[in-house]
């Protein structure tokens, strides 16, 4: 992306953040959210975040599926999920995941 495009992205992120965080502060006391819409709001972020990281963990740089044990990102990601479920600590999980990832990467010669 060009420099101008990056700043356009920054602007777009600002608008997206303001729309999500501030709009109900401005008009929220005058409207009520229907149940169906609330459900969608609840489900959407988890689905979006999963959709962002799934290709990063399951595919290589050329867009091919990599589900073998020789894929350090997939293994480190699974290890991090298990670790987070046990400890519920973000910082520890990131450090642990990076250690697993780095160990596997060096062991596999990547």
Positions touching other proteins (CB under 8 A) are 1, 3, 5-10, 12-26, 28-29, 31-33, 36, 38-59, 63, 65, 73, 76-77, 80-81, 84-85, 88, 90-91, 93-94, 97-98, 101-102, 105
Of the pair 34, 69, the CB lying nearest other proteins is at 34
DSSP 75: H
* Helices of type H across the chain: 3-27, 35-58, 72-87, 90-107
Of the pair 63, 68, the CB lying nearest other proteins is at 63
How many alpha carbons fall within 13 Å on the CB side of residue 100? Answer: 20
């Amino acid at each position: 992306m060009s420099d101008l495009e990056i700043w356009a992205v920054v602007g777009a992120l600002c608008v997206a953040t303001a729309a999500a965080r501030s709009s109900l502060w401005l008009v929220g006391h005058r409207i009520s959210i229907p149940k169906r819409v609330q459900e969608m709001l609840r489900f959407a972020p988890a689905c979006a975040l999963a959709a962002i990281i799934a290709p990063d963990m399951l595919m290589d740089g050329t867009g091919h599926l990599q589900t073998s044990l020789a894929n350090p990102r997939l293994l480190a990601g699974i290890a991090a999920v298990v670790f987070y479920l046990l400890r519920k600590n973000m910082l520890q999980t990131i450090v642990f995941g990076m250690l697993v990832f780095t160990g596997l990467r060096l062991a596999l010669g990547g």
